[in-house]
Amino acid sequence: MDQAALSNVVSLAYSLPELVLGASVVALFLLDLVVKRKALLGDFALLALAIVVMLSARLLWSDSAALYNGAIVLDGFALFFKLLLSLAAFVTVWMSLGSREIQRSDTGEYWPILLASTLGMLFMASATNLLMAYLALEFVSLTSYVLSGFMRHSRRASEASLKYLIYGGVASGTMIYGMSWVYGLSGSLDFRAIHAALLASNGVSLPLFVALLLTLAGLGFKVAAFPFHMWAPDVYQGAPIPVTAFLSVGSKAAGFALMIRFFFTAMAEPAGAGVYQLVGGADWSKLLLVLSILTMTFGNLAAITQQANVKRLLAYSSIAHAGYMLMGFAVLTDDGLRAMLFYLTVYYLMNLGAFVVVMMVANSTGREDLAGYRGLAWRGGAVPAVAMAIFLFSLTGIPPFAGFVGKFYLFAAVVEKQLYLLAIVGVLNSVVSLVYYARIVRTMFLEQPIGGEGAVVVDWHNGVLLGLLTVGTLLLGFWGPLIEFAGRSTHFLSY
């Protein structure tokens, strides 16, 4: 469907979620000046995000449109991510309200910054212009630096924030340099115009390849793909637990959203029958295939060597999961994209769930190390221990949990393209990942408490969230409409 991009004023009607979110950020900053109990601000943020989720859901029934003279679009793909990201922010705010760390810091700026970060992510999901993409990504990065260093009195948090900032600065610098190459090669910042220019030209494959490689640095940084993952372990460990959860799901999803849209609309085109073909002669699918293998293998092998801190271990696990998801990217098919979107949804459930348990343990015992989980099931923490086991086995990819179905779709997309080697590497990685996930399960169930670990209390607030995520991990995998929704969301607006 060919249609012109809408003008700025008309576009506002399609941007209700972003408008509400932006207004809430401003309101929260102002409220912070007058409100004494900072938890009230959290409640306000929760309410705002609930409204954002509903407004985004309402847009599902509206037509796709190119907004703001083509700077961003509203299509099924963008909406999928808007829903996922605002839901991730919603869970993060819910978690933050139940987190001892956040309660102790008792600073009001936390909430508007979290919401601002979400706003940036929403723009990342719908940007169709390199400038817009860069601004959105930087906006998310800057807010993330602040969030990860939010425990001002913790040395580790400060270190994490600084590391994040330095790595992030280098990555985005590299990326914008790469983007300038893309601009030089195509003469435009608009994804559609870049695509057209690349189609018309030929013989730019090598410079284009370099440009993409440089651009990938920034995007790979956001999704924590090897070799741009270095920040992840330190930041995950140092940041407050809800922020870590938000980074591991939200940041990753937003990064993938931008990455997919850029590569699939500017650097490739549909070739019919659900298959994409490359444009411009630079074979980035092979590059991503290699990246996928390296990322999952590195993430899993590094996680095995991590014994001490569960948050750090989950950081390496999140690197590995970026690798699995890149498989769906590298196959260049609608089925691959669908599998990726589905996997992101499932990953959202199980990874956030795992962090909720980590937070519950930290709330009760103040510990994040593996020894703090010893005999968890036998000292009053049977519910979080069972939930954690479900999340971890789901992350491993064992049925009947949702993670298995997610991996099944990913591997199916890979086998469909007859990339058997990639499939074998992928499934062997799943086996490797069992080693460290099972280590946590073993500590919780097979070992007995030796005393002094402290009891784990399940409070109502976190318990409800844990219950919802557990039920989702148990049931949503085999729930047909979810994969159909993911399938419908792989269509990009072409205008």
Partner 1 sequence: MPTNVLTWMIFLPVLGAIVVLCLPRNADTLIKGVAAAFTVPPLLMAVWLFENFDRTTSDMQFVTKIPWIASFNIQYFIGVDGISITMILLTALLSFLCIFASWGITKATKAYFALFLVLDAAMMGVFCALDFFLFFVFWEVMLLPMYFLIGIWGGPRREYAAIKFFLYTMLGSVLMLVAMLALYFYTEPHTFDMLELAARSASYSSRFQSIAWIALFIGFAIKIPAFPFHTWLPDAHVEAPTAISVILAGVLLKMGTYGILRINYPILPAATLQYAFYLLVALGTWNIVYGALCAMAQTDFKKLIAYSSISHMGYVMFGMATLTTEGINGAVLQMFNHGTVTAMLFLLVGVIYDRAHHREINGFGGLAGIMPFYTGWTALAFFAAMGLPGLSAFISEILVLLGGWRNYPALTVVSASAVVLTAGYMLWTMQRIYLGKANEKYLELPDINGREIFTLVPLAVIVIVLGVYPRPVLDLINVSLVHLNDVVMGKASVALAAATRLVP
Q: Which residues, 447 to 476, sit near partner 1 by CB under 8 A?
A: 447
**For 187-278, where are the alpha helices, taking DSSP H only?**
191-200, 205-223, 231-238, 241-246, 252-261
Contact 251, 144 (CB under 8 A): yes
What is the C-alpha separation between 149 and 38, in angstroms, rounded? 19
| Part in contact with partner 1 (CB under 8 A); list of ranges 2-10, 89-97, 158-166, 405-413 | 405-413
Q: Is 318 helix (H, G, I), strand (E, B) or coil?
A: helix
Nearest in space to 484 (alpha carbons), one of 398, 433, 389, 409: 409
Query: CB-wise, 229 or 407, nearer to partner 1?
Result: 407
- Angle at alpha carbon of residue 438, lines to 432 and 439, rounded to 5°: 100
**72 DSSP β-pair partners:** 67, 127
Q: Which among 12, 236, 214, 18 is positioned nearest to 124, based on CA atoms?
A: 18
3 state SS for 120-169: HHHHHHHECEHHHHHHHHHHHHHHHHHHHCCCCCCHHHHHHHHHHHHHHH
CB of 438 to partner 1, least distance (A): 6
Q: Does 411 bind partner 1 (CB under 8 A)?
A: yes
Q: Single out the residue of 4, 54, 428, 455 in contact with partner 1 (rule: CB under 8 A).
A: 428
Q: Which is nearer to partner 1, 386 or 457 (CB)?
A: 386
Q: How many residues bind partner 1 (CB under 8 A)?
A: 31
430 counts as binding partner 1 under rule CB under 8 A: yes
- Interacting span for partner 1 (CB under 8 A) from 161-169, 303-311, 364-372, 419-427: 419-427
Among 393, 394, 402, 403, binds partner 1 (CB under 8 A): 393
Residue 438 in the binding site for partner 1 (CB under 8 A) = yes
Q: Which is nearer to partner 1, 423 or 469 (CB)?
A: 423
List the one residue from 166, 420, 464, 471 that touches partner 1 (CB under 8 A).
420
Residue 148 and residue 167: Cα distance in Å, rounded?
A: 14
Q: How far is the CB of 316 from partner 1 (least distance, A)?
A: 19
Q: Does 108 bind partner 1 (CB under 8 A)?
A: no
List of residues 6+ apart from 29 with CB closer than 8 A: 109, 112
User: Which range binds partner 1 by CB under 8 A, 75-83, 86-94, 432-440, 450-458?
Assistant: 432-440
In whole angstroms, the minimum distance from the beta carbon of 455 to partner 1 comes to: 16
| Interacting positions 18-77 with partner 1 (CB under 8 A) | none
Which tokens go with 400? 């009947």
Q: What's the burial of 125, exposed, middle or buried (CB within 10 Å: 0-12/13-18/19+)?
A: buried
Examine residue 380 and tell whether it contacts partner 1 (CB under 8 A).
no
Least distance from partner 1 to the Cβ atom of residue 393, Å: 6
Nearer to partner 1, 260 or 434 (CB): 434
306 forms part of the interface with partner 1 (CB under 8 A): no
**Least distance between partner 1 and beta carbon 487 (Å):** 7
E-state strands within 35-142: 65-67, 72-74
Closest CA to 156 of 234, 41, 271: 234
x-marked contacts with partner 1 along 472-491 as a string, rule CB under 8 A: ------x-x--xx--x----
CB of residue 402 to partner 1, shortest distance in Å: 13
Q: Does 442 bind partner 1 (CB under 8 A)?
A: yes
159 binds partner 1 (CB under 8 A): no
Residue 157: both structure tokens together: 């948090």
The conformation of residue 60, written as its DSSP 8-state character, comes to: G
Compute the radius of gyration of the chain from its Cα atoms: 22
- By beta-carbon proximity to partner 1, the closer residue of 101 and 334 is 334
Residues 350-379 that bind partner 1 (CB under 8 A): 378
Q: Residue 227 burial by CB count (10 A; 0-12/13-18/19+): exposed, middle or buried?
A: exposed
* Stretch of 29-37, 151-159, 241-249, 404-412 lying at the interface with partner 1 (CB under 8 A): 404-412
**From 408, 457, 468, 495, residue interacting with partner 1 (rule: CB under 8 A):** 408
CB 56 within 8 A of CB 119: no
- Give the distance from CA 337 to its chain's centroid: 15
State yes or no: residue 415 binds partner 1 (CB under 8 A): yes
* Assigned token pair, 254: 């937003």
Minimum CB separation of residue 94 from partner 1 in Å reads 27
Interface with partner 1 by CB under 8 A: which range of 4-12, 207-215, 301-309, 442-450? 442-450
Site string for partner 1, 189-228 (x = CB under 8 A): ----------------------------------------
Q: Comparing C-alpha atoms, which of 345, 165, 335, 180 is closest to residue 252?
A: 345
Number of Cα atoms under 13 Å in the Cβ half of residue 415:
10
Binding stretches for partner 1 (CB under 8 A): 378, 393, 398-400, 404, 408, 411-412, 415-416, 418, 420, 423-424, 427-428, 430-431, 434-435, 438, 442, 445-447, 478, 480, 483-484, 487
